[in-house]
Structure formats: C-alpha cells, structure tokens
C-alpha cells in the first residue's frame, strides 16, 4: 500500500468542495431485544442473553418490539421526518459468522421515517441545516473477537470468539442526505451534527447514546468535487468513527487524503476505510468493486408496521423541547454567552444545573458550583459530572445556606467535600463538621481583640481613617477562626472597636 502525502487542509479546500453523508447507528435502550424477549443490558457474560430467536435457531421466528417502533417514530418526528403510513421490514442477506441467520432484519425501500432535517448549531452560534434521508429500524449483529491477528481484525486471526448477546439489539440507522455547502467547516458540521443527534436521542430518552460504549456509531462518507461542479466525486466510507472528536478528525483527514489523490491525477477508490484513533488517519478496508448485492426482499416472517395517525400525532405532541432550542432558551435565561453555554454542554452539566435551579438555587450559583468546584473534582477523579455522588437538590441546599449567610464560599466547599465523601446531606455535614459561620459578637470579640493587639501598626492606620486597611485584620480573624467567622460581622466589630465609621 502506498502512503499518500496529504495535502494541507487549506490547499484542499482551495480546490475542492467536500460532500458528506453521515450514517449513524443508535442502539435503542429498550429493555428487550428487537425481535425477542432477551435482555439488552450490557456487561453480561458472553452468550447468556440469547434464545432460539436471536441465535437464529431453525424454526424460530421474530416478533417486533413495540417499544422500539415507538422509539423509531419519536426519533423520526424529532428529526422532522415523515412517518410511513405502512412499511415493511426487509431481509438484508449476507454471510458473516456473527450474524446468526446470515441475514439482518432491516428496512430497505420502506423506512419508518424519511425526508426530514436536523438544525445544528456550530460553536459560534451559526445554524446549519442537515437534511435527513431516512431513519430505519434494524437489528444489531453479534460481536466477533478475533484472536491471534496483529490488528484485531479477522485477517490473520487464529480463531474468533462470538458473543451473541448483542445480536438482535434494536438499532435505528439515521442517514443524512448529501451534506453540501459546509465548505471548510465540513468537519465541524459533521461533529456538530453527531453531537446534536446525540443530545436529541438523549432528550427523547430512547438511548443513552454513549459512543464510547458503542451505543452510537458513526460512518462518515466523504467525497470531493472541484469548486463550481455539480457532480459528486467518488466517496469513501470511513466506518465506526466512535467519538465526536474522531468524527471531526476523520472528516478532515479524508478531505486532505482525497485532495492529495485527486490533485496528483489519481482516482478515489470506492471503499470502506478504518479510522485510527492514535494518529487520526484512515486506512483502506474492503474495496467495494461493485455494490454489494444484499438481495433485499420483504421479511415474510413479519407483518407490516402501520402506525395509526392518531398515535403518531400523540407521540408528536409528547416530544420534549428540542435540545438546541432548549439550550438557546436556557442560555438567555441564565444570561451567558454562546461560549459559556458550549462549556456547560461539553461538561454535560445542562440537566444538572437545570435541576439545581428547579430545586431553588439561583442560576448563577447553580452554574458556578457545577462548572467550578464540582467540575474540578469530576476532572480530578476522571469521571463524568453526573457520576459524582451529589444530587442537584443537595447542591441547591448548599446555595441556600450560602445565600442566608449560614455558609460562606470556603465553608460551602468543605460541605460539598463532605457530601461527596458520603457524610450525608449538606445539613448533616454542617452539623458533624461544625461548619456554621460564626457571627455571634461574644464569640468573635476575643478574636478581634487579639487581631488588633497583634497588628498594632495596622490598627493605628485604621484609627487614622484608612478604613481599607481593615481587610488585613479581617483576614487575620478569619485565619484564627479557620474560616468560620462571618467576615462582614468581623469587619463591623473591628471598625466599632477602633472607633471609626464603616
């Protein structure tokens, strides 16, 4: 295999216009599989979540999971698609050991949802509309683990292990129309589309859509055409690009690679390609010399799906607010910039902050704690924000204690530390650790007297009218009381004792 020297991204875009097509598979979070009653939970021992149906044993027959159909319709509606009045499943025939029946039950020319769009917002706020060709239902395959090969792929493997727990898990495949006009922002658009789709899927509650768990998988089709031309070039299909960053990198790499091949007078081979996380490159997979013949035909073991219109309209009425609209609304309510909102989104903090506000905290306080102290701790522990052992209710309670003066920021951080350490709720931690702000004159008076005595020079300045110098004495008192003193009350006491007006 010859390694092509890449063309710089800028040079590539100077000559060519990228056209993308994105195919995203989403594993639905239904309790049972697409066509049988087996559990879909992850992490079970291999082949323990199987039955005659998902193993494709002779004689077994599929039965459609009604919840999966409902999820598919809701996804279709959220993507502004038409919902088929009547559609059938089809068999996609090809041999592969991890496919129990050697055909996949999918949909062919009658997808459940078609002709829609998704508006995605780039980081600077620009909205780009991505056309949706179709969303269809299908079943996942089993999982092959190839042992002995250098690359983990089947070639060169000594033997392979097959786990059919995944076989039959419901999938929705969402295919975009050709995405044109993104120009140099194509990689960014690709990433933003997948990110937006992920948010949408989560908002619908139909899947956790965790890319790192394989619950959402993306194939990137890319071709280039010279500026000013209409015809699409030959495309490559980069399979299983499984993180947002990878989507962006794979797109960018393919733009540069295609440009290099085309620029040197070569032709692009229609093929699938593998993406490599380590260096962001792609390498040739299987060459598609001719379109694979899957011999699709209507699945005779299943009856057509004919969603009743009233039912579809009921589902439409029950759709949640679209993530992009919700984000824009919240951004305005919270009074923050696009950039700040992007940080909140990236941190996975939107729902946590919203819930904290719903529990009574002011927006700025809620955001401050989740994006500050809590984000820092999550980062330290290498965990997701939502995985921290603290609830929005408890964060709201901390905010409340700060607002009523029971805690200051320093104490509040200690309370949060206690909650995260499993010491109980904020009030319990306050009690156990004795973290109340001290504002009682009697308790503070001695500490103030000591501070004045120990800092005679500063006290003189204050007496002389340099009120600003009081801060140093307040600091001394705070230090002496290990942060528990009510700073405002301390300042009052200092000025009072030194006989000056605040």
Partner 1 sequence: MTHSSDLTRLTAAETAARIASGRASAVEVAEAHLARIEAVDEKVHAFLHVDREGALARARTVDAKRSRGERLGPLAGVPLALKDIFTTEGMPTTVGSKILESWIPPYDATLTKRLKDADVVILGKTNMDEFAMGSSTENSAYGPTGNPWDLTRIPGGSGGGSSAALASYQAPLAIGTDTGGSIRQPAAVTGTVGVKPTYGAVSRYGMVAFSSSLDQGGPCARTVLDAALLHEAIAGHDPLDSTSVDAPVPPVVEAARNGDVKGLRVGVVREFAGEGYQAGVMQRFNESVELLRELGAEIVEISCPSFDKALAAYYLIAPSECSSNLARFDAMRYGLRAGDDGTRSAEEVTSLTREAGFGPEVKRRIMLGTYALSSGYYDAYYGSAQKVRTLIKRDFDAAFGKVDVLVSPTTPTTAFPIGERADDPMAMYLADLCTIPSNLAGNAAMSLPCGLAPEDGLPVGLQIIAPAMADDRLYRVGAAVEAAYHARWGHPLLEEAPSL
**Residues of this chain that bind partner 1 (CB under 8 A):** 52, 55-64, 91, 93, 95, 97, 100-103, 160, 162, 291, 293, 295-297, 300-303
In the complex, the smallest distance separating the C-beta of residue 163 from partner 1, rounded to whole angstroms, is 12
Nearer residue to partner 1 within complex by CB, 97 or 465: 97
Nearer residue to partner 1 within complex by CB, 300 or 456: 300
Using a 10 angstrom Cβ sphere, with 0-12 exposed, 13-18 middle and 19 or more buried, the burial of residue 271 is middle
Nearer residue to partner 1 within complex by CB, 37 or 320: 37
In the complex, the smallest distance separating the C-beta of residue 167 from partner 1, rounded to whole angstroms, is 11
**What pairs with residue 239 in β-bridges?**
274
In the complex, the smallest distance separating the C-beta of residue 239 from partner 1, rounded to whole angstroms, is 20
Nearer residue to partner 1 within complex by CB, 92 or 249: 92
Chain-centroid distance of CA 54 in Å reads 30
Nearer residue to partner 1 within complex by CB, 100 or 111: 100
Which H or E run includes 327? helix 323-334
DSSP three-state, residue 17: strand
In the complex, the smallest distance separating the C-beta of residue 237 from partner 1, rounded to whole angstroms, is 19
| Complete edge-to-edge strand list for the sheet that includes strand 271-275 | 82-83, 113-121, 127-139, 170-176, 16-27, 216-226, 236-241, 271-275, 282-287
In the complex, the smallest distance separating the C-beta of residue 251 from partner 1, rounded to whole angstroms, is 30
Nearer residue to partner 1 within complex by CB, 297 or 311: 297
Strands (E) across 101-166 are located at: 103-106, 113-121, 127-139, 143-147, 159-163
- Number of Cβ atoms within 10 Å of the Cβ of 42: 15
Nearer residue to partner 1 within complex by CB, 96 or 311: 96
Nearer residue to partner 1 within complex by CB, 9 or 108: 108
Which residue from 500, 411, 497, 381 is spatially nearest to 447, judged by alpha carbons?
497
In the complex, the smallest distance separating the C-beta of residue 121 from partner 1, rounded to whole angstroms, is 40
- C-beta separation of 219 from 238 below 8 A: yes
Residue 144, both tokens: 């092959």
In the complex, the smallest distance separating the C-beta of residue 96 from partner 1, rounded to whole angstroms, is 9
Measured distance CA(207)–CA(462) in Å, rounded: 64
In the complex, the smallest distance separating the C-beta of residue 154 from partner 1, rounded to whole angstroms, is 8
Half-sphere exposure of 412 (CA within 13 A, CB side): 24
SS3 readout for 205-262: CCCCCCHHHCCEEEEEEEEEEECCCCCCCCCEEEEEECCHHHHHHHHHHHHHHHHHHH
């Amino acid at each position: 295999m010859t390694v092509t020297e890449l063309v710089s991204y800028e040079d590539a875009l100077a000559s060519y216009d990228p056209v993308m097509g994105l195919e995203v598979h989403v594993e639905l979070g239904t309790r049972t599989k697409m066509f049988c009653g087996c559990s879909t939970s992850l992490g079970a021992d291999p082949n323990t979540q199987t039955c005659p149906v998902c193993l494709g044993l002779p004689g077994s027959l599929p039965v459609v999971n009604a919840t999966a159909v409902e999820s598919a319709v809701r996804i279709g509606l959220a993507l502004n698609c038409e919902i088929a009045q009547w559609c059938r499943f089809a068999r996609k025939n090809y041999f592969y050991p991890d496919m129990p029946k050697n055909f996949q039950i999918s949909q062919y020319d009658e997808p459940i949802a078609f002709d829609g769009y998704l508006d995605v917002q780039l980081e600077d706020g620009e909205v780009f509309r991505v056309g949706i060709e179709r969303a269809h239902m299908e079943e996942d395959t089993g999982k092959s683990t190839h042992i002995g090969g250098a690359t983990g792929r089947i070639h060169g493997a000594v033997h392979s292990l097959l786990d059919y727990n995944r076989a039959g898990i419901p999938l929705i495949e969402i295919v975009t129309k050709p995405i044109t006009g993104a120009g140099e922002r194509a990689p960014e658009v690709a990433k933003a589309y997948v990110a937006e789709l992920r948010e949408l899927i989560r908002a619908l509650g139909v899947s956790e859509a965790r890319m790192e768990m394989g619950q959402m998988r993306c194939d990137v089709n890319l071709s280039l055409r010279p500026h000013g031309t209409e015809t699409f070039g030959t495309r490559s299909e980069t399979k299983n690009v499984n993180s947002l960053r990878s989507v962006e990198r794979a797109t960018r790499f393919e733009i540069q690679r295609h440009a290099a091949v085309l620029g040197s007078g070569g032709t692009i081979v229609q093929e699938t390609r593998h993406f490599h996380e380590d260096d962001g490159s792609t390498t040739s997979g299987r060459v598609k010399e001719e379109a694979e013949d899957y011999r699709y035909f209507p699945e005779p073991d299943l009856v057509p799906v004919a969603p009743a219109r009233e039912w579809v309209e009921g589902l439409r009425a029950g759709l949640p607010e679209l993530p992009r609209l919700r984000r824009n609304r919240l951004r305005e309510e919270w009074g923050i910039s696009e950039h700040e909102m992007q940080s909140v989104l990236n941190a996975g903090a939107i729902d946590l902050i919203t819930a904290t506000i719903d529990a009574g905290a002011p927006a700025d306080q809620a955001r401050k704690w989740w994006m500050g102290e809590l984000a820092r701790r999550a980062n330290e522990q290498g965990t997701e924000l939502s995985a921290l052992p603290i609830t929005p209710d408890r964060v709201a309670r901390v905010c409340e204690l700060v607002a009523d003066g029971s805690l200051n920021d320093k104490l509040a951080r200690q309370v949060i530390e206690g909650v995260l350490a499993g010491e109980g709720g904020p009030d319990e931690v306050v009690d156990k650790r004795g973290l109340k702000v001290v504002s009682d004159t009697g308790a503070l008076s001695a500490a103030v007297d000591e501070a004045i005595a120990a800092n005679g020079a500063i006290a003189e300045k204050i007496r002389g009218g340099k009120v600003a110098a009081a801060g140093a004495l307040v600091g001394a008192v705070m230090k002496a009381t290990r942060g528990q003193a009510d700073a405002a009350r301390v300042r009052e006491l200092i000025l009072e004792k030194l006989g000056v007006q605040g």
